[in-house]
Amino acid sequence: MEIVTKIAPIILAIIMLGLGLGLSIKDFTRVLKYPKDFFVGFICQLILLPIVAFCIAIALNLSAPIAIGLMIIAAAPGGVTSNVLTKFANGDVALSITLTAVVSLLSVLSVPFIVITSANLLDVTILTDISMTGIALKMALVVTVPVIIGMIIRSFAENFISSKINIINKLTGWLFVVVFAAIWVEEKDNIFTYLAQAGFAVLILNVVMMTLAYFIAKKFVSGIPQQKCIALECGLQNGTLAVFVATLIFDDIAYVVPTGAYALLMYITGFIFIYILRKSN
The string of pLDDT tens digits covering residues 218-248 is: 999 988 999 999 999 999 888 888 888 888 8
pLDDT digits (tens, 9 = 90+) for 63-78: 888 999 999 999 998 8
| 78 residue type, one letter | G
Q: Decide: 30 and 186 in contact? Cβ < 8 Å.
A: no
Per-residue DSSP letter, 237: B
- Closest listed residue to residue 136, CA positions, set 113, 102, 103: 113
pLDDT of residue 246: 85
Please state, in angstroms and rounded to a whole number, the distance separating the CA atoms of residues 165 and 186.
32
| 120 residue type, one letter | N
pLDDT of residue 5: 65
| Other Cβ atoms closer than 10 A to 125 | 9
pLDDT of residue 72: 93
Long-range CB pairs of 254-257, under 8 A, 24+ apart, other chains included: 254/63, 254/65, 254/66, 254/69, 254/194, 255/65, 255/68, 255/69, 255/72, 256/1, 256/4, 256/69, 256/183, 257/65, 257/66, 257/69, 257/183, 257/187, 257/191, 257/194, 257/195, 257/197, 257/198
Q: Can you tell me the mean pLDDT for 102-131?
A: 85
The widest CA-to-CA distance across the chain, in whole angstroms, is: 52
Q: Can you tell me the mean pLDDT for 171-190?
A: 67
